[in-house]
Structure 1
Amino acid sequence: MPTPDKMFLYPKDVSAFGFDWGKLSLTVGPEVNGANQFSAGVVDLPQGQGHSRHNHPGSEEIIFVISGNGQQMVEDDDGNPVTRDVGPGCTIFVPDSRFHSTLNTGSTPMQLFVVYSPAGPEKGLRDLPDFRLIPAGS
C-alpha cells in the first residue's frame, strides 16, 4: 500500500521523462506509487511542439487537455486519421493499439493529463533516442 507521500503528488514531486518535444511527469504508476491497474501523468508541450504518431499495443489511453490548444489525431476503426482541434476541458479516448499524435498549435504551452490502462506504455519511452530523465524539482 502506498504511503501518504506517494498518494498526493504534483508533477514537480517526481522525476520527468524529457524529450525534444516536451516532457511527461508520471505521477501514478507501478514504479511511482504501486498503482497496478493504470499509470498516469502530466504532459507538457511547448508552443509548436508535439509527439509524433505512435500507438500503445495492449493499452487504452485517455488524454485530458488541462490548458492550451492543439490538434489531436486518432485513427478511426478503418485506420484513417481523424484530426480535431482540442482545448481546455476536452477528453480524448484512444482505443487499444490505435495510432495517435498531439501537436500544440496554440500561442502558449499545452498541458495534458494522460492515463494508460493497463499500466506499461510509459516504460517504452525510456528507449526513445531523445529520452532524458529530468530530476524531481527541476
Structure 2
Amino acid sequence: MTVKDIGPQPQAFDLEAATRENTHYRSVAWSGRYLQVTLMSIPVGADIGLEMHPETDQFLRLDAGSGRAQMGPAKDQLSFNCEVSDGWCILIPAGTWHNVTNTGDVPMQVYAVYAPAHHKPGKVQPTAADAEADTDDEPADWSVQPAGTRADQHV
C-alpha cells in the first residue's frame, strides 16, 4: 500500500496496513497545518535515535514488533523505561529526551503523530543514516510552527 502525502487536504487510508507494509525508516504519510503522520520501520536491534523536540509533542504506536521506550528530562536521565509491543502507544511530551529500541526479532513497525508538523511533506528516508544526512527536511511553510522555535537535539 502506497500512501501519498497530499498536504493539508482531507485524507483517509488504512493506517495499520500502511504502517505494517512500510519498509522505510521514515515515510511522511500526511502533513497538516498543525500535525503530521509518519510511518517508521525500525530494524531488529536498531533504534529511533535518542532525541529531544523542545516544541513538538509526539504520539507513537506500534503496529508490529516489540521494543523498549525510554524517556527522561535529560539525555543521561532516561528514568522512564517501558517494554512495548504491538498495539502499545508511547506518548512523548515536548522537551522530553526519548528513544525507542527494537528488542524483538522482526522489524518494529511504528506510526508517529507529531504536533506541530516536523518533517517535509512527502519525505521518504529509507534508512536512519539517510534521515541523519538529510539537509532538506523542514516542515512546509504553510504549517503552523511555534514562534521562536528552538532546535531539536539529537545524540
TM-score (normalizing by structure 1): 0.69
1:46 paired to 2:43? yes
Structure 1 spans left out of the alignment, 5+ residues: 30-34, 134-138
Equivalent positions of 1:20-59 (< 5 A) are 23-29=25-31, 35-59=32-56
Would you say the 8 A contact 1:47–1:106 is kept in 2?
yes
- Which one has the bigger strand percentage? 1
CA RMSD of aligned residues (A): 3.1
- Deviation by residue 1:50-99 (Cα, 9 ceiling, x = unmatched): 1221011211001111110011111159x831111100111111001111
- Which one has the bigger helix percentage? 1
Separation of aligned partners in 2, 1:26 and 1:68: 20
> Structure 1 counterpart of 2:87, which letter?
G
2:112 alignment counterpart: 114
Structure 1 runs of 4+ off > 2 angstroms?
A: 8-12, 125-129
> Structure 2 counterpart of 1:105, which letter?
T
2:69 alignment counterpart: 72
Shift of 1:23: 0.8
Change beyond 3 A, Cα 1:97–1:109: same
Shift of 1:132: 9.4
Structure 2 spans left out of the alignment, 5+ residues: 1-7, 137-155
Separation of aligned partners in 1, 2:87 and 2:72: 21
Separation of aligned partners in 2, 1:54 and 1:117: 16
Separation of aligned partners in 2, 1:109 and 1:50: 11
Separation of aligned partners in 1, 2:86 and 2:110: 9
Change beyond 3 A, Cα 1:9–1:95: same
